[in-house]
Amino acid sequence: MRVALAISSFVALIIHGIVFYDQFFHQWEDHQTAYFEQARGLATKDAERAALEGRRPRIEQIIVTQFGEARVDRCTTCHIAIDDPRFKAHAEPLRTHPNSEALGDTFVNGRWERRHKFSDFGCTVCHDGQGRGLETFYAHGEDHFWPEPLLGYTTQETWRAEFKPKLLGKEFMQANCAQCHTEENFKSTPLVSRGRQLFFEKNCYGCHRIEGMSTGTLGPDLTEVGKKFKLDYLWESIVEPRANSAVSSMPKFNLSDEDVKSLVVFLKSRRGMNFAETSLERYRARIRESKVEPATQPTTEVAGVSAAARGERLINERACAACHKIGDRDGGIAPDLSFEGLLRDESWLMDHFRDPRSRVPDSIMPAFGFSDSEFLSMTQYLKSLTTPPPTATPAEAYKNLCARCHGEKGDGHGLIALYLDPYPRDLTKVAFMNSKPEERFIMSIKEGVPGTSMPAWGKVLNDAQIRDLLNYIWQTFVREPRRELKARNVPAHNPVAMSGESVARGERIYLQRCTGCHGRKADGKGPNSLDILPRPRNLRNRDFINSVSDRRLFDAIMYGVQGTAMPPWIDYGLSQNDVGDLVNYLRSLNQTN
Amino acid sequence: MSMTKKAIHKPTAAEDELTTRRRFLTWLSGVGLVGSAIISIFSNLIFIKPRATYGEPNRFPIGRPEEFPPGTRISIDDKRVCIVREGNRLAAISTTCTHLGCIVAASETGFACPCHGSRFDQDGNVTGGPAPKPLPWYQVNLAPNGELEVDKDTEVPPGTYITV
Ligand code: FES
């Protein structure tokens, strides 16, 4: 009993002692004591000596009120010699902050005059870090939960190890210079300028929005990206777009480390607020933004260069190959353009450039706001690409023309299939392949499927080759002899006349039977659509619907589409007249006005 | 035999050891408890005064001596000090009235308080009104970067100037 009491009270004493020591003896006190001692030794004037007289360690604190929320900066508690020119050669933390013209400092009468005085700016405005922290780990923001670690000097404990060395260096601080110095080519922030240039050069702006700069909607809005993410996340998102979302459609740009760094610094500088602007100026800028054309990089005209050559340069400069395949460059996201001149005509290309969704309604390609003359040049260049890939054998033809979308195994999971809507057909689905007449496959190959990415291969292959290709598909993927088609009772033309009443009846049936998959808007995005592959048709894909005959619509609705989730509706009590109403309703949705 | 032995009790070596042990344990508990108590009292005493508050810092730079040419008498209102320079001597006088804390304004004769009419001479001594004490003078330092620094935590006797 006595032993226990003795031991526990002694332990209590020790714990008390440790807590006391921990709370009241600090490393910063040692730094300050060391500073006072050395400064006393360095003092030459009485005034200097007097200033040190009676100074005892204490928490130094600068309160900065000018930049957003008031900041409390206690950095000078350790970095106490920061403004003492005599400590230039000392080791951190007792080192003078360097002076330089790049920082805006001026050299007058033999001494440096600071442009950014610590009493006004503090430290964290430029450096980031946690101003209130009094221990290195917290003050420098190494703590994983602190959103803004010291820029370019500290990386956090949990940051990806392989990126760490790349994230160090004072150049990263340019991101914070750009909080106030927003001029486009401010000479002290070359990386921000370079990053901005890359943002346009690599077409990032086509997908991403940055307030006042670009209006892309495909990718995340980057207006405040610098506030939300740390350096390593930005770096990772650029070099490995799939790191955070497995289905990200952002291309891998394979940039040099230097370029990635510029982009990271540029993005880090996007914090959605700009200390140099008042909120009124921001408001005005937003109003202006809604009026201006999307920003494009001016391309200098070179005299004597043909339109096609200029187009080729534009296509290279704008990193089209980051998504598309052109020759031996392949972004692995969008269709092969290597022989586009054979597949598409000028008006298709121009329409598609101006607004990709005018030709492929569910295309994810952004509408880049280039000038018409630039589009024309690019069209001319694509039109000049008329060398077909080798298609001597059907296997070769399949590999070169079909596999990119339909996949090596014919299962519809080609390299770029993920980005296509509608999804490429699964050619191994026997039920589907056997439910359609051979002629229909021939037509789809030959003429393409309007409103989708399937081009008209009849411009590359002759009829015999198309037949051979279809046979090859049958032998390789379907692997079953063709079955006889059962005769179906399908009218060639809609027997129900188009009328307001018929459309209204059709709509009622549509709402009851079809919305689950095809959606209320008939855009193919109904609540069930997520679980179904191939996805339900977008019934507002005008080009597609208008290219499909009444017979085919009746066939699909009444007898279903084998190998998909579309059931035969005659089994569920729809009469031919009901289907006629439905067809009228669908046609009415897609009428060109 | 054994009775007599018990009557005159002579501590054996083992018993001796027990007593020392007891003493030691008592001593240990005592030191532990009293020590803890003392440390707690100290901690609490130190804790009472905050180490840092979020108010404006009391030591602040005001600029280079050249910015205050000889003859200057200028009030920095948001910092509540008046910088006085005569020749190459310089000082900082508080402009917070010692009555109820209004900001006094520099006047012909020194300082005047707008609230209840206290008057002070050039050196901050009370010449009239309810103010009970003269205006304090603060220490001015020449910081290593060549700027002047006023330290409102340190009062100096009136008439203390630094040479710049
Ligand atoms: S506060 Fe100055 S006179 Fe009362």
The set of residues, in sequence order, having a beta carbon less than 8 Å from that of A106 and lying 6+ positions away, is A112, A113, A115
| Partner-chain residue, chosen from A5, A6, A20, that has the shortest CB–CB distance to B43 | A20
- Cα distance between residue A99 and residue A102, in whole Å: 9
Q: Mutation test of the interface with chain A: which of B18, B39, B45, B90, choosing the one with the most A Cβ atoms within 10 A?
A: B39
Nearest Cα neighbor of A201 from A243, A262, A245 is A262
| Partner-chain residue, chosen from A6, A9, A17, that has the shortest CB–CB distance to B39 | A17
Cβ atoms of A496 and A577 within 8 Å: the answer is yes
| Partner-chain residue, chosen from B24, B36, B154, that has the shortest CB–CB distance to A12 | B36
Work out the mean pLDDT of chain B and round it to a whole number: 85
Lowest-confidence region among A301-315, A381-395, A410-424: A301-315
> What integer pLDDT is reported at residue A261 of this predicted model?
95
The yes-or-no verdict on residue A103 having pLDDT over 80 is: yes
> What integer pLDDT is reported at residue B42 of this predicted model?
86
| Partner-chain residue, chosen from B43, B51, B145, that has the shortest CB–CB distance to A84 | B145
Tell how far the Cα of B140 is from the centroid of ligand 1, in angstroms.
25
User: Cis ω on the peptide bond leading into residue A93 (within 30° of 0)?
Assistant: yes
* Ligand 1 touching residue B111 (CB < 6 A): no
Nearest Cα neighbor of B38 from A11, A18, A17 is A17
The yes-or-no verdict on residue B96 having pLDDT over 60 is: yes
DSSP state of A481: P
Distance from CA of A6 to the nearest CA of B (A): 4
Q: At what angle do helices A576-589 and A500-513 cross, to 10 degrees?
A: 100
The protein residue whose alpha carbon is closest to atom 3 in ligand 1 is: B116
- Contacts A–B by Cβ distance under 8 A: 95
Record: contact B35-A84, CB cut-off 8 A: no
Record: contact B26-A6, CB cut-off 8 A: yes
Record: contact A47-B142, CB cut-off 8 A: yes
The yes-or-no verdict on residue B112 having pLDDT over 80 is: yes
* Distance separating the N- and C-terminal Cα atoms of chain A: 97
CB atoms within 10 A of CB A217: 12
Lowest-confidence region among A8-22, A35-49, A469-483, A534-548: A35-49
* Ligand 1 touching residue B81 (CB < 6 A): no
Nearest Cα neighbor of A195 from A267, A110, A284 is A267
> What integer pLDDT is reported at residue A292 of this predicted model?
45
The alpha carbon torsion through A388, A393, A397, A399 (nearest 10 deg) reads -120
**Residue B131 CA: which ligand 1 atom is closest?**
3
Tell how far the Cα of B131 is from the centroid of ligand 1, in angstroms.
6
Question: Which CA distances in Å does A541 have to A138, A359, A562, A591?
Answer: 56, 9, 21, 11
Q: pTM value? A: 0.72
- Cα distance between residue A172 and residue A155, in whole Å: 12
Mean pLDDT of A355-360: 87
* Ligand 1 touching residue B99 (CB < 6 A): yes
Of residues A294 and B86, more confidently modeled: B86
Distance from CA of A120 to the nearest CA of B (A): 10
**Residue B101 CA: which ligand 1 atom is closest?**
1
* Ligand 1 touching residue B95 (CB < 6 A): no
* Ligand 1 touching residue B105 (CB < 6 A): no
> What integer pLDDT is reported at residue A168 of this predicted model?
92
Distance from CA of B116 to the nearest CA of A (A): 33
Distance from CA of B104 to the nearest CA of A (A): 25
Cβ atoms of A224 and A212 within 8 Å: the answer is no
Give DSSP secondary structure letters for A167-182.
G-SGGGGHHHHTTT--
The yes-or-no verdict on residue A185 having pLDDT over 90 is: no
Cβ atoms of A406 and A397 within 8 Å: the answer is no
Confidence of residue B20 (pLDDT cuts 50, 70, 90): confident
Record: contact B28-A7, CB cut-off 8 A: yes
Question: Chain A: residue nearest B64 by CA?
Answer: A113
Tell how far the Cα of B77 is from the centroid of ligand 1, in angstroms.
16
Mean pLDDT of B69-74: 87
**Residue B118 CA: which ligand 1 atom is closest?**
3
> What integer pLDDT is reported at residue A140 of this predicted model?
93
> What integer pLDDT is reported at residue B2 of this predicted model?
47
> What integer pLDDT is reported at residue A156 of this predicted model?
87
Confidence of residue A233 (pLDDT cuts 50, 70, 90): very high
Tell how far the Cα of B95 is from the centroid of ligand 1, in angstroms.
11
Look-up: residue for tokens 């020591």?
Answer: A21
* Ligand 1 touching residue B103 (CB < 6 A): no
Mean pLDDT of A96-106: 89
A63-67, A166-170, A482-486, B43-47: range with highest mean pLDDT: A166-170
The yes-or-no verdict on residue B95 having pLDDT over 70 is: yes
**Residue B130 CA: which ligand 1 atom is closest?**
3
Confidence of residue A593 (pLDDT cuts 50, 70, 90): low
Of residues A403 and A22, more confidently modeled: A403
**Per the structure block, which two tokens stand in for A124?**
């964290």
> What integer pLDDT is reported at residue A286 of this predicted model?
67
Record: contact B141-A51, CB cut-off 8 A: yes
pLDDT digits (tens, 9 = 90+) for A268-318: 999 877 776 666 766 776 666 555 454 454 444 555 568 888 888 888 877
Q: What are phi and psi of B120, to 5 degrees?
A: -130, 150
Record: contact B31-A46, CB cut-off 8 A: no
Q: Which of B80, B94, B104, B115 to mutate to test the pocket of ligand 1 (most atoms within 8 A of CB)?
A: B115
Tell how far the Cα of B136 is from the centroid of ligand 1, in angstroms.
15
The yes-or-no verdict on residue A180 having pLDDT over 90 is: no
User: Which of 7-66 (A) contact B at CB < 8 A?
Assistant: 7-13, 16-17, 19-20, 23-24, 39, 45-48, 50-51, 54, 58-63
Q: Mutation test of the interface with chain B: which of A61, A105, A114, choosing the one with the most B Cβ atoms within 10 A?
A: A61
> What integer pLDDT is reported at residue B1 of this predicted model?
43
Tell how far the Cα of B49 is from the centroid of ligand 1, in angstroms.
28
Mean pLDDT of B125-143: 90
**Residue B113 CA: which ligand 1 atom is closest?**
2
> What integer pLDDT is reported at residue A509 of this predicted model?
93
* Ligand 1 touching residue B129 (CB < 6 A): yes
* Ligand 1 touching residue B113 (CB < 6 A): yes
Q: Mutation test of the interface with chain A: which of B29, B78, B149, choosing the one with the most A Cβ atoms within 10 A?
A: B29
Work out the mean pLDDT of chain A and round it to a whole number: 86
User: Cis ω on the peptide bond leading into residue A422 (within 30° of 0)?
Assistant: yes
Lowest-confidence region among A340-344, A498-502, A529-533, A548-552: A529-533
- Cα distance between residue B42 and residue B36, in whole Å: 10
Contacts of A11 in chain B (CB under 8 A): 32
**Residue B116 CA: which ligand 1 atom is closest?**
3
Look-up: residue for tokens 């370019």?
Answer: A152
User: In terms of DSSP H, where are the helices of A144-216?
Assistant: 174-177, 190-201, 204-207
Record: contact B144-A47, CB cut-off 8 A: no
> What integer pLDDT is reported at residue B7 of this predicted model?
58
> What integer pLDDT is reported at residue A48 of this predicted model?
75
